[in-house]
């Protein structure tokens, strides 16, 4: 079989290169001896028959309404995938669009698709910089955050606790939200390239659903060495290397 990884709205939702998380999943699957392809989906007409994972990147506020309109046509599928345990990774505004809704600094209120709990609300000033998160399940995540909204009312489990950066904000000390196999996060990078353990976790879910096993390939170990060096440098720069250990 061939794993099909949907890159959702890559022309609109790829401001920080987050759509490339789909390419990371596909390549690591191939290194493990599994066939995989990335399919760009901009509307229902390009939706493949089989979907094993979905990646939704971040876009600009100017494209929020356009992206929402396109995603509304896939609302039933997104809800079904989430219920069935298909891994969905949503970053930045892609995550916000899957929430209950978005409030902008200009006073607009944009209704979300309601796939994930919580909503995005304006914060005092944009936050940009290193974001370090400690996950009880997957260890340390590193990435870059760049957002002008906090995320409140996240009743699901957070992706992890913030060790450096703002994350969800409002002094919550949390970053992201997780419900089943649906993951929302502020982490840019792309997050799966900087955190290959997270990519392997998603691939493990995909393989389990298909009745297959997943073991990272030999090439993954070599590439992970580069990722580890970059992660170590970012932890050191953020001043949390020693505390995380």
pLDDT one-digit tens code per residue, 161-212? 999 999 999 999 999 999 999 999 999 999 999 999 999 999 999 999 999 9
Q: Can you tell me the distance from the alpha carbon of 7 to that of 13, in angstroms, rounded to the nearest whole number?
A: 9
Work out the average pLDDT over 124-132.
Answer: 95
Q: What is the CATH number of the domain that holds 42?
A: 3.40.50.880
237: DSSP letter: H
Q: What H or E segment, with its residue span, contains residue 31?
A: helix 21-31
- Residue 121: pLDDT band (50, 70, 90) is very high
What percentage of the chain exceeds 90 in pLDDT? Answer: 90
Measured CA to CA, the distance from residue 232 to residue 111 in angstroms comes to 39
Q: For 149-157, what is the mean pLDDT? A: 90
The secondary structure of 104-132 as a DSSP string is -TTS-EEE---SSS-EEEEEEEEEEEEEE
Which residues, at least 6 apart from 222, have a Cβ–Cβ distance to it below 8 Å? none
Picking from 127, 124, 116, 121, the residue whose alpha carbon sits closest to that of residue 104 is: 121
Domain that holds residue 207: 2-244
Residue 140 has a pLDDT of: 95
Residue 183: the pLDDT is: 97
* C-alpha to C-alpha distance for 96 and 169, rounded to whole angstroms: 14
Q: CA 215: distance to chain centroid?
A: 22
Q: Are strands 88-91 and 53-56 parallel, antiparallel or unpaired?
A: parallel
Q: Count the domains in the chain.
A: 1
């Amino acid at each position: 079989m061939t794993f099909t990884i949907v890159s959702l709205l890559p022309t609109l939702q790829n401001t920080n290169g987050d759509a490339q998380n789909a390419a990371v999943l596909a390549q690591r699957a191939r290194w493990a001896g599994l066939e995989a392809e990335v399919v760009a989906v901009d509307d229902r007409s390009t939706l493949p028959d089989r979907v094993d994972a979905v990646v939704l990147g971040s876009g600009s506020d100017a494209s929020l309404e356009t992206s929402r309109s396109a995603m509304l046509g896939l609302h039933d599928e997104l809800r079904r995938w989430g219920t069935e345990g298909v891994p969905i990774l949503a970053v930045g505004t892609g995550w916000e669009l899957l929430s209950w809704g978005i409030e902008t600094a200009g006073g607009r209120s944009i209704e979300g698709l309601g796939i994930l709990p919580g909503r995005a609300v304006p914060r005092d000033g944009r936050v940009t910089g290193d974001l370090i998160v400690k996950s009880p399940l997957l260890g340390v995540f590193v990435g870059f955050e760049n957002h002008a909204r906090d995320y409140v009312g996240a009743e699901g489990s957070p992706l992890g606790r913030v060790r450096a950066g703002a994350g969800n904000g409002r002094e919550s000390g949390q970053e992201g939200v997780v419900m089943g196999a649906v993951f929302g996060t502020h982490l840019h990078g792309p997050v799966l390239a900087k955190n290959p353990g997270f990519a392997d976790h998603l691939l493990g879910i995909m393989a389990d659903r298909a009745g297959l096993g997943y073991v990272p390939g030999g090439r993954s170990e070599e590439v992970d060495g580069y990722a580890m060096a970059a992660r170590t440098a970012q932890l050191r720069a953020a001043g949390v290397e020693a505390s995380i250990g």
